[in-house]
Amino acid sequence: MKIQRELGVPPRPDVPPVYTRRAGWQAVRGDAAWAGRSIGFVPTMGALHAGHEALLARARAENERVVLSIFVNPTQFNDPTDLAKYPRTLEADLALARSYVDAVLAPEPEELYPDAYRYRVTENELSRRWEGAHRPGHFDGVLTVVLKLFNLVRPTRAYFGEKDWQQLLLVRGMVQALLLPIEVVPCATVREADGLAMSSRNRRLAPADRARAPEFARALRESPDAPTAAARLRAAGFEVDYVEDADGVRMGAVRLGDVRLIDNCRLPAAR
Ligand code: PAF
């Protein structure tokens, strides 16, 4: 609401309809009331926070209709424990989103995977590096579900946070490769006051790990090179999956307890 007030966007009074079945949503999407309108789309896995709210606020400001999807996509989790523990907070999500969105898609897995995931989208280069090297199959799952959601929503613009930098590059690449008439809009990472990038996984951090977590962003930003950042993080008690520099961006993934965090920053020359 705060962000919305700052943008001067009037609050939306109605509770947005939630579609759990493809057919119900597709009937609405095909209706004349949606024809010829610009549609902003914010795909999420729920557990919404201020980072998602910023995406929704931007979508609201730039489009005539806004659609939010909430779907904890099983095919992008290479770790079954991570999938089981992923926070599911639908009621709170709807309360946060209601003033921004015209419709919410919250489909059951069978609705998005009638093929039981026999068909999938694979990118063969970038998706193998960084996150992909540590989470085999992750980006196949991401790209496949994003394409399915794009096909259902047919958005004008789709909003993605820069925290998931590699995901953003891959979604943009897929849109270009598959000739999709969608503008992918990158949105700056929203951070807590202490610098920790907002993430649905943050709420699972133990108090001592939450206190240590802001060092992740600091080490990425302040270290002269990637190996120095990784060493600084290990010394501070992080388990480091990777820290790497590529194309003016430093990306990293670390673990605190059983919570995995990712973040990135622009390198000084690129800032
Ligand atoms: O960034 C996310 O929350 C997910 O990867 C996405 C894009 C919603 C696909 O499941």
CB 247 within 8 A of CB 232: no
**pLDDT confidence of residue 9:** 52
51/35 Cα distance (integer angstroms): 29
> Given CA atoms 59, 62, 66, 71 in this order, what sign does their dihedral have?
negative
210/225 Cα distance (integer angstroms): 25
In Å, what is the CA distance from 5 to each residue of 101, 186, 215, 222? 15, 22, 32, 34
- What is the per-residue pLDDT across 120-145, written as a single tens digit (0 to 9) for each? 999 999 999 999 999 999 999 999 99
What's the gap in Å between 17 CA and the centre of ligand 1? 21
Angle at 153 between CA 111 and CA 34, to 5 degrees: 125
The ligand 1 atom at the shortest distance from the C-alpha of residue 161 is: 1
Ligand 1 atom 9, closest CA: 142
Whether 46 lines ligand 1, by a CB cut-off of 6 Å, is no
Pocket test for ligand 1, best of 142, 144, 202 (most atoms within 8 A of CB): 142
CB 102 within 8 A of CB 153: no
Ligand 1 atom 1, closest CA: 44
**pLDDT confidence of residue 268:** 86
Instruction: State the catalytic residues.
Output: 52
CB 44 within 8 A of CB 52: yes
Ligand 1 atom 6, closest CA: 44
> Whole-model pTM?
0.94
Helix (H, G, I), strand (E, B) or coil at 131: helix
**pLDDT confidence of residue 15:** 79
Burial of residue 257 (CB within 10 Å: 0-12, 13-18, 19+) is exposed
75/24 Cα distance (integer angstroms): 24
Pocket test for ligand 1, best of 55, 56, 105, 145 (most atoms within 8 A of CB): 145
Whether 70 lines ligand 1, by a CB cut-off of 6 Å, is no
CB 89 within 8 A of CB 46: yes
Q: Is 40 left (phi over 0), alpha (psi -120 to 50) or beta?
A: beta
Low-confidence ranges of the chain (pLDDT < 50): 1-7, 13
**pLDDT confidence of residue 2:** 44
- What is the per-residue pLDDT across 166-208, written as a single tens digit (0 to 9) for each? 999 999 999 999 999 999 999 999 999 999 999 999 999 999 9
Helix (H, G, I), strand (E, B) or coil at 183: strand
The ligand 1 atom at the shortest distance from the C-alpha of residue 146 is: 9
Q: Walk me through the domains of the chain, giving residue ranges and CATH numbers.
A: 2-187 (3.40.50.620), 200-265 (3.30.1300.10)
What's the gap in Å between 8 CA and the centre of ligand 1? 28
Find all residues with CB under 8 Å of 23, minimum gap 6, and list them.
none
